[in-house]
Amino acid sequence: MSQMPMSDLRPDELNVWDDLPAGVLVRITVERLTDDPMTEDYQPRSEIGRLALAARKAYLAGGGELLSADEISAEVRRRRGGLSDE
């Protein structure tokens, strides 16, 4: 089975399906390796990314807490007056 060097893959891309024979069973496990995906060595590539990261850090330093995807959806619905996303 050929593999791409890990440096050539995006974080959301893993292409092994074409190399597996038909009928092979696989187990894939996904787990977060750190509590905070924005580690200290993360460097945004754009000015807007740097501004967003600075705002995030200031929010967390001020006691703010990160929301899950479901909590964000609920907050958006609340701010829209209870309207659904559709």
pTM recorded for the entire structure: 0.45
Dist. CA 85–CA 80, nearest whole Å: 9
Q: Are 20 and 26 in contact (CB under 8 A)?
A: yes
Dist. CA 53–CA 39, nearest whole Å: 11
pLDDT the model gives residue 13: 63
* HEC assignment per residue over the chain: CCCCCHHHCCCCCCCCHHHCCCCCCCCCCCCCCCCCCCCCCCCCCCHHHHHHHHHHHHHHHCCCCCCCHHHHHHHHHHHCCCCCCC
What would the pLDDT profile of 4-44 be if each residue is shown by its tens digit?
Answer: 455 555 656 666 666 777 788 878 777 666 666 666 778 88
What would the pLDDT profile of 40-86 be if each residue is shown by its tens digit?
Answer: 778 888 999 999 989 988 998 999 988 888 999 999 999 988 765 55
